[in-house]
Amino acid sequence: MIALAVTSPNAIAKRLTGRDYVSYSAISTYCQCPLKYAFKYIEGLPEETISSSLAFGRAVHAAAEHHFNELMSGAPPPDQDSLLSAFWDAWRSVAKEGVIKYGKGEDTASLQQTAERVLTAFRLSDLAHPTGRLIGVEEELRGSLVPGVPDLLARIDLIFETDEALVVRDFKTSRSRWHDGQAENQAEQLLLYSELTRQLIPGKSLQLEFAVFTKTKEPTVERHPVLHDPRRIARTKRVIERVWQAIESNLYYPAPSAMSCPGCPYRKPCRAWSG
């Protein structure tokens, strides 16, 4: 009897997307709009525009990454000019990917002032100086979490260890301060990543949290803890399983949305798509 060759999920992902893994952001993109996923991850189309809020968030992440990399190397905390330099380096890198689309009343000058205020608030906050041993900054972890689905690749903003717990922190930028329950509403990704991070120090208690940078007139940097929820983790895994089955089946279609479509970077190819 001849055994049939079985293609691994990682190999299938490599054939479809050029990457032998999946990311939570890719799964989220499919959930938002399957056709947008196809344009970005299957066809690899360049983004025509990039929202200023997305560019700002990436640049703040880059500045925070620079800050914690300096601390991890044993150097003193970088000054404001150093953080701003990291911010604008990242901004220019994003601008090379597509035209940055500014929001109403925004321009480069106004965003520069916002960046200066946000980074000042960050440098003065307790979250800029975590108590404990830094383990990883923009750390990549990878593993198989769902049978039949490619490995999940996680990029975790900050991991550090205290006497009590292994702390996993994710950075977010927001136009306004988060209300009660907002961290819980956005917790799926962090909860899923906990399945990979708990393997770093087996037996150590795990603490999940968001660090939220607000772009308000008087910016804040606030910590929002996320409670461990095994049932929600299991549900998220089932969602990933179903989404991957749809991707394997080449199930792509537009999902019109008054919230998402106006700022979508693939509006032209979407309009040209005929099924």
Domain count for the chain, please give it.
2
The reply to whether 114 and 138 lie within a common domain is no
Reading the block at residue 163, the tokens are: 């006497």
| Region 12-36 average pLDDT | 96
The reply to whether 112 and 196 lie within a common domain is no
What whole-number percentage of the chain has pLDDT above 90? Answer: 82
Q: Is residue 257 part of a domain?
A: no
Asked whether the predicted pLDDT for residue 5 surpasses 90, the reply is no
Q: Is residue 215 part of a domain?
A: yes
Asked whether the predicted pLDDT for residue 104 surpasses 90, the reply is no
Q: Is residue 12 part of a domain?
A: no
Question: Residue 72 belongs to what domain range?
Answer: 49-124
Scan for tokens 């961290």, then name that residue.
183
Q: Is residue 207 part of a domain?
A: yes
d(CA 115, CA 160): 26
d(CA 256, CA 264): 11
Q: Is residue 197 part of a domain?
A: yes
pLDDT score recorded for residue 7: 83
Asked whether the predicted pLDDT for residue 227 surpasses 60, the reply is yes
Q: Is residue 271 part of a domain?
A: no
d(CA 86, CA 215): 18
The reply to whether 107 and 165 lie within a common domain is no
The reply to whether 159 and 117 lie within a common domain is no
The reply to whether 120 and 152 lie within a common domain is no
Q: Which of 95, 124, 153 is the last residue of a domain?
A: 124
The reply to whether 105 and 182 lie within a common domain is no
Using CA atoms, how far residue 162 sits from 130, 132, 202, in Å, is: 9, 5, 14
Q: Which of 101, 124, 147 is the last residue of a domain?
A: 124
Q: By the 8 A CB rule, do 20 and 232 touch?
A: no
pLDDT tier at 234 (50, 70, 90 boundaries)?
Answer: very high
Reading the block at residue 259, the tokens are: 């919230």
- 46-65, pLDDT tens digit by residue? 988 889 999 999 999 999 99
pLDDT tier at 6 (50, 70, 90 boundaries)?
Answer: low
pLDDT tier at 142 (50, 70, 90 boundaries)?
Answer: very high
- In DSSP notation, 193-224 reads HHHHHTTTSTT--EEEEEEEEE-SSS--EEEE
Q: By the 8 A CB rule, do 168 and 191 touch?
A: no
The reply to whether 147 and 112 lie within a common domain is no
pLDDT score recorded for residue 239: 97
Helices (H), the chain: 9-17, 24-32, 34-37, 52-72, 80-95, 108-124, 182-185, 188-197, 230-248, 267-272
Query: Which one has a higher pLDDT value, 104 or 25?
Result: 25
pLDDT score recorded for residue 260: 87
CATH number at residue 177: 3.90.320.10
pLDDT score recorded for residue 2: 54
Q: Is residue 24 part of a domain?
A: no
The reply to whether 240 and 210 lie within a common domain is yes
d(CA 213, CA 219): 7
pLDDT score recorded for residue 158: 97
| Region 235-260 average pLDDT | 95
Scan for tokens 């136009």, then name that residue.
175
Q: What is the mean pLDDT of the chain?
A: 93
| Region 185-204 average pLDDT | 92
The reply to whether 212 and 142 lie within a common domain is yes
| Region 72-92 average pLDDT | 96
Q: Is residue 101 part of a domain?
A: yes
Q: Which of 83, 101, 124 is the last residue of a domain?
A: 124
The reply to whether 145 and 120 lie within a common domain is no
The reply to whether 234 and 209 lie within a common domain is yes
Asked whether the predicted pLDDT for residue 196 surpasses 70, the reply is yes
What whole-number percentage of the chain has pLDDT above 70? Answer: 98
